[in-house]
Amino acid sequence: MRSLITGVTGQLGYDVVKELNSRGHNFLYAPTRREMNLLDEQSIRSTMESYKPDVVFHCAAYTAVDKAETDVATATSVNVDSTKVIAEECKKLGAKLIYVSTDYVFDGTKPLDELYEVTDKTNPKSIYGLTKLMGEKAALNNPKTFIARTSWVFGINGNNFVKTMLNCFERFPQLTVVADQFGSPTYTVDLAKTLVDMAETDKYGLYHVNNEGYCSWHQFADTIREKAGKDTFVKPVTTEEYYAPQYEKAEKEGRTLTVAYRPRNSKLSKKSLTSAGFDLLPNWEEALDRYLIELKEDKKVLGLNLKK
């Protein structure tokens, strides 16, 4: 299986390469931005036509949620246009395409005791969510496509909520974290395994793929604090309370603060995953334990006082 992986400098692309290597898939190509520029259609086409992959793991994305609200052109180019070209090339080559999408394709207004199914109506309320949904539709131009919606990802190769919290615990006695947005933290090591599992089948379709269990951002932060053995007080606040000081500061400075809409309910049902015979991912708390060990062993973050 000849694999091409976009976004290797990010969290998921990095772990997909590691997972492929661990399974003995040695024919893989993870081009740099210089080798395959997602903003350049010809660069994408020439790279794919030259390498002729059997499967493309399209992990690269424009994920700066707030910035996308004003940088619409770039977000569209990366999340939609590049996906359209990749899907067209996959179709020509008869290659499989795995497109990684997001919980932001939903508006998150479902009652918190309900889950979002893959069959539920999408209704993105942000440019990021809209461009990822448009990317899904573009990906489906290739008949051999898997769409994997995920959420709240954390991995070793990049910035994420866990690393941010660990740094804040070292600097501040108190933090405020949003407590009215709910979803599933997802470890890219576990996500990558499922994506490679998919690539080894022909069970094409739409899936929700994230770690088991649900929590709020506040519960996630407080769990990180507890497992890291820190004393920082993590104060729960509403989304509105969290952003109010930032809006006030921007107004005083004569700036316009642009904040993208965040879904309140990002609880995704994994029925489609189990129905197709794929394994559920481990619980997010157990995944966090493994991630904290990975962080402790990583040379870039040695010195953090993390419990095993």
User: What pTM does this model have?
Assistant: 0.94
Residues 159-186 have a mean pLDDT of 96
Q: What letter represents residue 235's amino acid?
A: K
* Band (308; pLDDT cuts 50, 70, 90): very low
Residue 145 located in a structural domain: yes
Residue 221 located in a structural domain: no
Alpha helices in the chain (DSSP H): 11-22, 41-51, 65-68, 72-76, 82-93, 127-139, 161-171, 188-199, 217-228, 239-252, 271-275, 284-297
Q: Reduced to 3 states, what is the DSSP secondary structure of residue 86? A: helix
Q: Which residues are catalytic?
A: 128
Residue 260 located in a structural domain: no
- DSSP code at position 121: P
Residue 227 located in a structural domain: no
SS (H, E, C) 218-287: HHHHHHHHHHHCCCCEEEEECHHHHHHHHHHHHHHCCCCCCCCCCCCECCECCHHHHHCCCCCCCEHHHH
Residue 257 located in a structural domain: no
Residue 144 located in a structural domain: yes
Domain extent for 25: 3-160+185-212+266-281
Residue 26 located in a structural domain: yes
- Rounded percentage of the chain residues whose pLDDT exceeds 90: 94
Query: 287 is written with which tokens?
Result: 């995944």
pLDDT 10s digits, 237-277: 999 999 999 999 999 999 999 999 999 999 999 999 999 99
Question: CA 49 to CA 143: how far, in whole Å?
Answer: 18
Residues 208-216 have a mean pLDDT of 98
The tally of domains found in the chain comes to: 1
Residue 129's region, left for phi above 0, alpha for psi from -120 to 50, else beta, is alpha
CATH code of residue 102: 3.40.50.720
Which residues face 33 on adjacent strands?
Answer: none
Quick check: 204 pLDDT over 70?
yes
Residue 258 located in a structural domain: no
Residues 111-121 have a mean pLDDT of 97
